[in-house]
């Protein structure tokens, strides 16, 4: 701290704690202590209060001791002369501020005053509703981002507080962050103007899909980003409420976040910033404020002032760019921006952005046309590296909003390239193309569907830019370690298209056969995935052909490719070794590997059983499988499903209990494609044990489950499995299963 | 007002008054009597009655054949043992006090810092869960006490040191077995006809000193914190100007906080204040001298009348009704001097009587009663006051830097650590750290070396921690204020001070509290980035104006803990090249720390910086370069605000005028 900042932070802290206490007294008097206090769709109560104090706030009455604790962290402001030290005191004030701010938001939720409604902005659509700011990010979204946060694709988040110098600057700052895949959290205002207003006025799409989350136009809503940070530690780090120091240090070292204060900084902003600094998040301001450059609480500088007009640059846009660069530097994140010669911004923050029909220049695929994508391996000598060819006309002649066929053929070669990697690489096309601003990509293979927006087309985006993107990405890290040469052909010529379609379909078939033949028994090696150990240090995924990683993002082939790409990385081959028990899927190799790589905390592991030494669970699994002893079966809840389950727990609560690298017989986190594997808890009776399953799964994978049901010899099995629409308690479940004659009831006892 | 006797204007003023009144002081006696040249160099052996032998010629031995190095080594070892026993006996008394408090037998005292009690209990391996505070306190007291009489094994607090340091001690058989045992061992082996291998004698001196630093003194600090509270920063004043012309002045002097805390309480007793008023005084003023002052300064903010050489000067003001003393560093001259004034000299320790003084024996079982008796005596003496001359010299200071607070201040309740300090050293913002401690010595100009060395170090971005009389010395010149960082510190150090809000010189307590520095060094060594042992840290220990045997014990335990220690004034082993070599080069090879005597303060600074840079290099840290730092802080914000206040055009988006 500097004394200037400490004075304001401590003053702000004292004031906001008082404000929270007053608000609470009033709410208690009017509504009583038993009034429920909850944030929507989270299992973590009020997460900052839970994390830092261990208190599970569920009612207004529960807030009293939490605020008392905040009060105990308050100190007097430093004297003008003969001051006593103020850094520790100001940081304490910062934490007190966060506790108070979260209490205020808790009270406002109880009173129906959150999330904040923004009148006059009909385009604002968030998880908080139409015309509303977002409120806290729900657990589902947090987990959905989990793997990207873990593997570094999403470096972290920027909490922007205040308003930019101009709308133009606001948009530029946000675009720069999006290009680096940094989550953008918006809050606060300067004299009533918020960056949220600025972006909405400029038509910027806000919401989970674009990585830009508007939390609220007051400073207090900055508590939501810090709640997100706290829950990251609880969700992925396996920490428990009350482990304050561990949670804060986890954020310092693992969550690459920073605060960008735009416009004048007042007492409450300083106080909130002091709270953020305790999380190790540095603060960068675009105005004149004192700087705090010595490091320690944060990994790099604590507070940086970059008065906007003093930033070198030709114009405000360039200054905005430099400002963002500095923010990233201060957090010590190495963020490489893919330098791709296309006329639109590029970054995975743009992956989720939609191109609506009205905004669309052209589409490929969909109902009216066909889009094909096919990646194949070639002898490098046959390839002309960097060649991008368009066979047939571009889309200029097609009317606005129209459709045309396109084939995207990527040919790659390299000494380390293998035929098996073709589908692994081909699957990347979706992510690569989607990351261009103004391009929307859905599907794969010959059922791909791509849209280009008018904006992108106006800026000059044409078909060859697909080639530019794909070439740049496959020749960029990390793929360049297996791809030495690449060339891309874009095909719109009908004859040529036909030819390639046939070739691609033949290849798809071959691949399908190959994958079907890829069984656990047919290979000598499984692969580890310890990527999540940065978050859950004792978690080890063992990935076999018939059991993909529990995050759903890595199957056996992915791991094999990843190991080629980075031989010392998190995906290591595990020689199966001696088979110790074929039924539960116990091999000497995985047992030893898991023991060694779990800090010797997990001694045994099986591949096919939920009851006997099941695999550990990190935090970003797609589904939770849990034994229901009463029903002699298991239930499966997907992370998208926020509803109550027969276990009496929601997904989030279960994840909190069983995640973080723990091994719990009877509970297992899995990737959803493991559900369809013949080896799915085969030691315990297989898929027929499933008595309850989130409807989300049934609806998103109907074909796959149909095939499973047939394989299991009960063709209507899926209809006999209950879901949250019919059953949410174990009492309801049993009669329902009997009524539907579920096979599990006749199976041998699980326990 | 430059004076070769003292750089302190208050002292100079009092010395002038002493001259006018024809009073003898330590200053004048030092001028009149030169040090014995034979003893000063360590050449005098008076261990047996065949001597005393004076070894002044080349190759000369004592009657028994003892060589010069044996004699010098024995003298040094005995001095270290005496110093260690003084500190440790202080620790023992504190342990007794804790036991009495735990048993409910010590009215007026309480377990003030339960958190510290629990932390100490845990370090001692005691069960704390589900136990009453008193029960834990009793066991902590008993374990502490057991450390003194323990015969085998090793002291419990050694486990607080960095692991590699413990290994060195064990490997070299330096780990002390019991506090008293190591002292007795030295007295035995330096008896006529025992250990006559200088290096071997001095090896035991190191072991004995460790029994002080990681034993007796550490117990003294810990128990004082438990009973009287772990210090945290506060604002108070220092120098003779704190004495009050119209109040009863009680000056407490010595070392142990048990007595002084009780006296402080008594001076705040409304009944006694009323009594003082009945005698014509406006109230009761209490001030400290020497390390008693440091104890009360650190915890209650009781003003300090000055350091060691101020003890006589305080009396010369004519304003002191009673000077209450306990143990250590109390000049016998006070007795005669107080006779020349109305001042009552009150001795209180069962161990310390001074002829001519009033003895009111202190007993922790009836502390408030004894303290009230003493304060009443002072009040009764107020009407006897004659001419009063209090120098109007005083300065503000911010003391109270326990290592616990230093940890807290670097991150608050939730993020407390030594990371920021280590980071600052690693980055080169802080070049290194120096502990500048120890006494005053009338053989050199009072406070001058303390002040010179510290200001030079600050200029070079060395963070300074101080204890004892050295801390009071620099407090008198304003170095112990946050403002001093802006004025005296180099650019990097200033940034760090400004970030945390600390003075560039941290007052860590009395001389037994040098153990806090050991803990601080351990924290730095284990925080990461600065090696793994105390000897890896770019730091030095300096005692510029030392005079007591305790200083030698402290110096030795810092060396044994891995620190380069420089002593000023003169060397007590000057006569023996071999002993001089053993304690520097020899010890450095063994334990990584070394002891050197260097009378020239300029050279002390030079050697300190050289050593700090050497350690930086060994750690692979960037070369110290102050030009890289100094940008942060409030300065430019203040300039911006000033411009705005003046009505000049300003923009939030621009530092300079738009």
A263 touches chain B (CB under 8 A): yes
**Which residues, listed in sequence order, are joined to residue A391 by a DSSP beta bridge?**
A491
Chain B's closest residue to A5, CA to CA, is B634
Chain B residues with CB inside 8 Å of A302's CB? 499
Amino acid B1: pLDDT: 46
Q: Flag if A2 and B632 touch (Cβ within 8 Å).
A: yes
pLDDT tens digits for range B499-538? 999 999 999 999 999 999 999 999 999 999 999 999 999 9
B625 touches chain A (CB under 8 A): no
Residue B546 has pLDDT above 50, yes or no: yes
- Please state the ipTM of this predicted complex: 0.95
**A277 band by pLDDT with thresholds 50, 70 and 90:** very high
pLDDT tens digits for range A508-519? 888 878 777 889
Q: Within 10 Å of residue B143's Cβ, how many Cβ atoms? A: 19
Is the distance from CB of B342 to CB of B384 less than 8 angstroms?
yes
Domains B236-384 and B399-624 fall in the same CATH topology: yes
pLDDT averaged over chain A? 91
A54 touches chain B (CB under 8 A): no
pLDDT tens digits for range A118-176? 988 988 999 999 999 999 998 888 888 876 776 667 788 999 999 999 999 999 999 99
Cα separation, A222 vs B578, in Å, equals 68
pLDDT tens digits for range B596-639? 999 999 999 999 999 999 999 999 999 999 999 998 899 989 99
Amino acid A148: pLDDT: 75
- Chain A segment 59-88 residues within 8 A of B by beta carbon are 73, 78-79, 81-88
Is the distance from CB of B602 to CB of B592 less than 8 angstroms?
no
Amino acid A515: pLDDT: 77
Cα separation, A560 vs A558, in Å, equals 5
Question: Which of A440-454, B22-36, B326-340, B550-564 comes out lowest in average pLDDT?
Answer: A440-454
Single out the residue of B287, B236, B279 nearest to residue B263, CA to CA: B287
Segments making up each domain of chain B, as ranges: 67-228, 236-384, 399-624
DSSP codes of every residue in B348-414: --TT---TTSEE----GGGHHHHHHHHHHHHHHHGGG----------EEE-----HHHHHHHTTHHH
Cα separation, A538 vs A598, in Å, equals 4
Is the distance from CB of A27 to CB of A107 less than 8 angstroms?
yes
Which phi and psi (to 5°) does residue A496 adopt? Answer: -60, -40
Contacts of A661 (CB under 8 A, 6+ apart): A238, A532, A536, A537, A538, A539, A598, A601, A616, A617, A618
The CATH number of domain B67-228, selected from 1.10.8.10, 3.40.50.720, 1.20.1270.30, 3.40.50.450: 1.20.1270.30
Tokens of B509: 């307590």
Residue A600 has pLDDT above 90, yes or no: no
Looking at the domain that runs over B236-384, which CATH code has it been given? 3.40.50.2030
Is the distance from CB of A640 to CB of A627 less than 8 angstroms?
no
Q: Flag if B656 and A310 touch (Cβ within 8 Å).
A: yes
Q: Flag if A302 and B499 touch (Cβ within 8 Å).
A: yes
Nearest C-alpha of chain B: how many angstroms from A301?
10
Cα separation, A626 vs A669, in Å, equals 9
Q: Flag if A297 and B654 touch (Cβ within 8 Å).
A: no
Amino acid A346: pLDDT: 87
- Chain B segment 495-534 residues within 8 A of A by beta carbon are 495-496, 498-502
B653 touches chain A (CB under 8 A): yes
A269 touches chain B (CB under 8 A): no
Higher model confidence: residue A586 or residue A123? Answer: A586
Question: Residue B120's Cα: distance from chain center in Å?
Answer: 21
DSSP codes of every residue in A587-633: EHHHHHHHHHHTTT------SS-SSSSPPPB-S--SEEEEEEGGGTE
A191 touches chain B (CB under 8 A): no
Block residue for tokens 């999403």 = A154
Query: How many CB pairs below 8 Å do chains A and B form together?
Result: 159
Question: Which of A303-312, A368-377, A532-541, A733-742 comes out lowest in average pLDDT?
Answer: A532-541
Phi-psi region of A711 (alpha: psi -120 to 50; beta: other; left: phi over 0): alpha
**Pick among A76, A78, A81, A88 to test the B interface (most B CBs inside 10 A):** A88
**A300 band by pLDDT with thresholds 50, 70 and 90:** confident
Single out the residue of B494, B455, B449 nearest to residue B478, CA to CA: B455
Is the distance from CB of B233 to CB of B297 less than 8 angstroms?
no
Which phi and psi (to 5°) does residue B31 adopt? Answer: -70, -35
Cα separation, B296 vs B302, in Å, equals 5
* % pLDDT > 90, chain A: 68
**Pairing of the two strands B320-325 and B304-306:** unpaired
Tokens of A86: 């103020």
Chain B residues with CB inside 8 Å of A275's CB? none
B192 touches chain A (CB under 8 A): no
A530 touches chain B (CB under 8 A): no
Tokens of B508: 């860590």
The runs of H, that is alpha helices, within B43-178 are 68-102, 114-123, 133-149, 163-171
Task: Indicate the SS3 state at residue A253.
Answer: helix
Q: For B399-624, which CATH class?
A: alpha beta
Nearest C-alpha of chain A: how many angstroms from B215?
30
A237 touches chain B (CB under 8 A): no
Cα separation, A156 vs A177, in Å, equals 10
Chain B residues with CB inside 8 Å of A292's CB? 499, 632
pLDDT tens digits for range A385-437? 899 999 999 999 999 999 999 999 999 998 888 888 898 889 889 889 988 98
Question: Residue A393's Cα: distance from chain center in Å?
Answer: 39
Chain A's closest residue to B424, CA to CA, is A294
Domains and CATH numbers, chain A: 3-110 (1.10.8.190), 125-331 (3.40.50.2030), 348-495 (3.30.1650.10), 520-746 (3.40.1470.10)
Single out the residue of B485, B438, B425 nearest to residue B458, CA to CA: B485
Is the distance from CB of A691 to CB of A633 less than 8 angstroms?
yes
Amino acid A338: pLDDT: 61
Q: Which sign, positive or negative, has the C-alpha torsion A313, A316, A318, A319?
A: positive
Q: Flag if B632 and A294 touch (Cβ within 8 Å).
A: yes
Question: Could you say which of B412, B483, B637 has the minimum Cβ distance to residue A91?
Answer: B412
Block residue for tokens 């893919």 = A338
Nearest C-alpha of chain B: how many angstroms from A55?
16
Block residue for tokens 């906001």 = A16
A234 touches chain B (CB under 8 A): no
Chain A's closest residue to B399, CA to CA, is A84
According to DSSP, residue B537 is labeled S
Residue A288 has pLDDT above 90, yes or no: yes
Question: Which of A435-444, B388-397, B435-444, B477-486 comes out lowest in average pLDDT?
Answer: A435-444
Amino acid B80: pLDDT: 98
Single out the residue of A281, A280, A226, A240 nearest to residue A102, CA to CA: A226
pLDDT tens digits for range B110-137? 999 999 999 999 999 999 999 999 999 9
Residue A185 has pLDDT above 90, yes or no: yes
Amino acid B2: pLDDT: 61
Cα separation, A438 vs A353, in Å, equals 8
Task: Indicate the SS3 state at residue A415.
Answer: coil
Phi-psi region of A239 (alpha: psi -120 to 50; beta: other; left: phi over 0): beta
Residue A391 host element (H or E): strand A388-391
pLDDT tens digits for range B163-218? 999 999 999 999 999 999 999 999 999 999 999 999 999 999 999 999 999 999 99
Q: Flag if B411 and A87 touch (Cβ within 8 Å).
A: yes
Nearest C-alpha of chain A: how many angstroms from B414?
6
Q: Flag if B652 and A307 touch (Cβ within 8 Å).
A: yes
Cα separation, B275 vs A373, in Å, equals 100
Tokens of A473: 């990405």
pLDDT tens digits for range B455-466? 999 999 999 999
B46 touches chain A (CB under 8 A): no
pLDDT averaged over chain B? 96
* Highest mean pLDDT: which range of A117-131, A314-328, A430-444, B330-344: B330-344
Cα separation, B613 vs B432, in Å, equals 8
Q: Within 10 Å of residue A319's Cβ, how many Cβ atoms? A: 23
Tokens of A108: 């406002």
Amino acid A339: pLDDT: 74
Residue A169 half-sphere exposure toward CB, CA atoms < 13 A = 22
Binning chain B into helix, strand and coil, the percentages to the nearest 5 are 50, 10, 40
Cα separation, A58 vs A42, in Å, equals 12
* % pLDDT > 70, chain B: 100
Residue A657 has pLDDT above 90, yes or no: no
Block residue for tokens 């730091």 = B539
Higher model confidence: residue B230 or residue A509? Answer: B230
Chain B residues with CB inside 8 Å of A92's CB? 412-414
Single out the residue of A131, A351, A136 nearest to residue A228, CA to CA: A136
pLDDT tens digits for range A520-573? 999 999 999 887 776 677 889 999 999 998 888 788 988 888 888 777 778 899
Can you tell me the mean pLDDT for A455-479? 92
pLDDT tens digits for range A90-116? 999 999 999 999 999 999 999 999 999
Tokens of B94: 């504190």
Q: At what angle do helices B257-267 and B290-300 cross, to 10 degrees?
A: 60
Q: Within 10 Å of residue A393's Cβ, how many Cβ atoms? A: 12
Tokens of B160: 């607080």
Nearest C-alpha of chain B: how many angstroms from A92?
5
A6 touches chain B (CB under 8 A): yes
Q: Flag if A89 and B420 touch (Cβ within 8 Å).
A: no
Is the distance from CB of A282 to CB of A303 less than 8 angstroms?
yes
Residue B67 has pLDDT above 90, yes or no: yes
According to DSSP, residue A555 is labeled -
Nearest C-alpha of chain A: how many angstroms from B574?
43
**Pairing of the two strands A439-442 and A485-491:** unpaired
According to DSSP, residue B42 is labeled T
Q: CA-based angle B418:B91:B314, to the nearest 5? A: 90
């Amino acid at each position: 701290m500097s004394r200037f900042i400490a004075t304001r932070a401590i003053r702000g802290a004292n004031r906001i704690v008082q404000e929270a206490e007053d608000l609470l007294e009033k709410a208690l008097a009017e509504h009583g202590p038993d009034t429920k206090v909850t944030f929507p769709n989270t299992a973590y109560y009020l997460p900052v209060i839970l994390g830092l104090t261990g208190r599970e706030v569920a009612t207004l009455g529960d807030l009293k001791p939490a605020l008392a604790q905040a009060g105990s962290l308050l100190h007097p402001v430093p004297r003008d002369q003969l001051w006593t030290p103020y850094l520790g005191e100001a940081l304490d004030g910062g934490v007190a501020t966060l506790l108070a701010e979260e209490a205020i938001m808790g009270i406002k939720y109880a009173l129906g005053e959150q999330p904040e409604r923004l009148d006059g902005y009909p385009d604002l659509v968030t998880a908080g509703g139409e015309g509303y700011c977002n409120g806290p990010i729900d657990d589902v979204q947090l987990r959905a981002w989990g793997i990207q946060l873990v593997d570094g694709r999403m470096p972290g988040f920027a909490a922007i507080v205040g308003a930019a110098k101009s709308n133009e600057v606001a948009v530029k700052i946000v675009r720069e962050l999006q290009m680096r895949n940094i989550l953008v959290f918006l809050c606060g205002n300067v004299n009533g103007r918020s960056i949220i207003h600025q972006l909405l006025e400029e038509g910027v799409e806000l919401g989970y899909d674009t990585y830009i989350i508007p939390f609220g136009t007051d400073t207090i809503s900055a508590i939501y980003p810090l709640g997100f940070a706290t829950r990251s530690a609880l969700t992925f780090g396996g920490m428990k409420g009350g482990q304050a120091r561990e949670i804060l240090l986890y954020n310092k070292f693992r969550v690459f976040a920073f605060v960008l204060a735009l416009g004048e900084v007042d007492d409450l902003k300083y106080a909130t910033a002091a709270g953020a600094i305790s999380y190790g998040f540095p603060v960068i301001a675009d105005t004149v404020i004192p700087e705090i450059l010595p490091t320690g609480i944060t990994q790099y500088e604590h507070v940086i002032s970059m008065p906007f007009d003093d930033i070198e640059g030709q114009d405000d846009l360039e200054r905005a760019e430099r400002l963002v660069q500095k923010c990233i530097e201060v957090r010590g994140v190495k963020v490489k921006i893919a330098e791709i010669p296309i006329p639109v911004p590029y970054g995975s923050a743009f992956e989720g952005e939609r191109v609506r029909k009205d905004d669309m220049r052209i589409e490929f695929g969909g109902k009216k046309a066909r889009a094909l994508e096919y990646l194949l391996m070639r002898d490098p000598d046959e390839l002309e590296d960097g060649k991008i060819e368009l066979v047939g006309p571009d889309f200029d002649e097609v009317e606005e909003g129209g459709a045309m066929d396109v084939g995207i053929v990527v040919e790659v070669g390299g000494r380390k390239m293998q035929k098996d990697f073709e589908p692994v690489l081909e699957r990347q096309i979706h992510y690569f193309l989607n990351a261009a601003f103004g391009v929307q990509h859905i599907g794969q293979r010959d059922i791909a569907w791509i849209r280009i927006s008018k904006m992108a087309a106006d800026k000059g985006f044409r078909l060859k830019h697909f080639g530019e993107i794909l070439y740049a990405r496959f020749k960029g890290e990390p793929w360049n370690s297996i791809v030495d040469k690449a060339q891309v052909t874009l095909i719109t010529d009908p004859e040529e298209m036909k030819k390639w379609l046939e070739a691609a379909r033949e290849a798809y078939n071959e691949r399908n056969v190959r994958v079907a033949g890829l069984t656990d028994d047919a290979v000598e090696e499984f692969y580890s995935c310890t990527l999540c150990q940065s978050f859950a240090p004792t978690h080890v995924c063992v990935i076999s052909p018939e059991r993909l990683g529990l995050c759903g993002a890595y199957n056996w082939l992915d791991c094999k490719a990843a190991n080629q790409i980075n031989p010392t990385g998190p995906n290591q081959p595990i020689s199966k070794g001696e088979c110790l028990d074929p039924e539960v899927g116990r091999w000497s190799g995985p047992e030893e590997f898991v023991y060694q790589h779990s800090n010797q905390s997990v001694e045994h592991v099986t591949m096919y059983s939920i009851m006997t030494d099941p695999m550990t669970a990190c935090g970003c699994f797609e589904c939770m499988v849990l034994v229901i002893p009463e029903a002699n079966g298991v239930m499966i809840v997907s992370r998208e499903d926020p509803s109550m389950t027969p276990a009496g727990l929601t997904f989030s609560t279960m994840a909190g209990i069983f995640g973080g690298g723990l091994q719990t017989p009877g509970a297992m986190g899995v990737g959803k494609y493991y559900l369809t594997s013949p080896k799915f808890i085969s030691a315990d009776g297989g898929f027929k044990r499933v008595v309850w399953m989130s409807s989300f799964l049934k609806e998103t994978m109907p074909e796959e489950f149909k095939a499973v049901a047939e394989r299991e010899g009960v063709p209507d099995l899926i209809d006999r499995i209950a879901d949250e629409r019919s059953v949410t308690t174990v009492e309801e479940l049993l009669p329902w299963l009997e009524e539907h004659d579920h096979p599990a009831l006749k199976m041998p006892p699980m326990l | 007002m430059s004076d070769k006797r003292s750089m302190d204007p208050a002292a100079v003023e009092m010395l002038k008054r002493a001259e006018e009144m024809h009073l003898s002081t330590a200053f004048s006696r030092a001028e009149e009597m030169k040090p014995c040249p034979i003893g000063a160099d360590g050449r005098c052996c008076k261990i047996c009655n065949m001597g005393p032998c004076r070894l002044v010629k080349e190759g000369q031995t004592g009657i028994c054949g003892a060589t010069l190095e044996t004699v010098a080594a024995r003298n040094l070892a005995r001095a270290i043992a005496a110093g260690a026993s003084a500190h440790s006996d202080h620790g023992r008394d504190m342990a007794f006090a804790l036991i009495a408090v735990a048993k409910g037998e010590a009215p007026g005292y309480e377990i003030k810092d339960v958190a510290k009690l629990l932390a100490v209990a845990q370090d001692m391996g005691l069960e704390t869960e589900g136990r009453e505070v008193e029960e834990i306190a009793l066991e902590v007291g008993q374990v502490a006490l057991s450390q003194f009489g323990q015969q085998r094994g090793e002291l419990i607090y050694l486990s607080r040191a960095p692991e590699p340091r413990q290994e060195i001690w064990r490997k070299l058989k330096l780990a002390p077995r019991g506090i008293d045992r190591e002292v007795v061992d030295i007295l035995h082996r330096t008896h006529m006809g025992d250990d006559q291998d200088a290096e071997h004698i001095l090896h035991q001196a190191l072991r004995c000193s460790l029994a002080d630093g990681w034993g007796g003194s550490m117990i003294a600090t810990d128990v004082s914190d438990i009973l009287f509270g772990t210090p945290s920063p506060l604002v108070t004043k220092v120098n003779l100007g704190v004495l009050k012309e119209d109040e009863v002045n009680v000056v407490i002097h010595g070392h142990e906080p048990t007595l002084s805390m009780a006296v402080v309480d008594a001076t705040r007793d409304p009944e006694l204040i009323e009594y003082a008023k009945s005698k014509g005084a406006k109230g009761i003023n209490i001030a400290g001298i020497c390390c008693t002052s440091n104890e009360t300064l650190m915890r209650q903010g009781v003003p300090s009348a000055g350091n060691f050489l101020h003890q006589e000067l305080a009396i010369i003001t004519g304003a002191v009704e009673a000077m209450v003393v306990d143990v250590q560093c109390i000049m016998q001259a006070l007795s005669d001097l107080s006779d020349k004034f109305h001042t009552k000299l009150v001795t209180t320790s069962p161990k310390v009587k001074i002829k001519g003084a009033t003895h009111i024996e202190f007993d922790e079982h009836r502390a408030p009663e004894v303290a009230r008796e003493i304060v009443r005596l002072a009040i009764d003496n107020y009407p006897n006051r004659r001419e009063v001359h209090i120098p109007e010299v005083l300065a503000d200071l911010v003391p109270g830097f326990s290592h616990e607070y230093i940890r807290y201040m670097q991150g608050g309740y939730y993020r407390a650590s030594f990371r920021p300090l280590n980071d600052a050293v690693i980055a080169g913002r802080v070049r290194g750290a120096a502990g500048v401690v120890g006494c005053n010595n009338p053989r050199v100009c009072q406070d001058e070396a303390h002040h010179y060395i510290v200001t030079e170090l600050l200029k070079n971005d060395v963070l300074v921690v101080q204890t004892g009389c050295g801390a009071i010395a620099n407090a008198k010149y304003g170095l112990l204020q946050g403002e001093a960082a802006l004025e005296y510190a180099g650019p990097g150090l200033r940034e760090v001070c400004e970030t945390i809000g600390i003075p560039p010189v941290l007052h860590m307590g009395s001389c037994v509290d040098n153990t806090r520095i050991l803990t601080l060094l351990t924290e730095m060594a284990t925080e990461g980035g600065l090696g793994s042992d105390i000897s890896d840290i770019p730091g030095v220990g300096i005692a510029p104006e030392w005079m007591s045997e305790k200083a030698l014990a402290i110096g030795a335990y810092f060396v044994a803990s891995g620190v380069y220690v420089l002593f000023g004034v003169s060397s007590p082993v000057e006569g023996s090249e071999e002993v001089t070599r053993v304690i520097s080069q020899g010890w450095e090879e063994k334990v990584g720390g070394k002891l050197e005597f260097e009378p020239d303060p300029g050279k002390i600074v030079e050697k300190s910086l050289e050593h700090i840079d050497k350690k930086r290099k060994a750690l692979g840290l960037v070369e110290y370069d102050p030009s890289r730092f100094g940008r942060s802080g409030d300065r430019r914000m203040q300039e911006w605000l000033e411009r705005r206040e003046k009505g000049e055009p300003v923009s939030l988006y621009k530092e300079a005028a738009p």
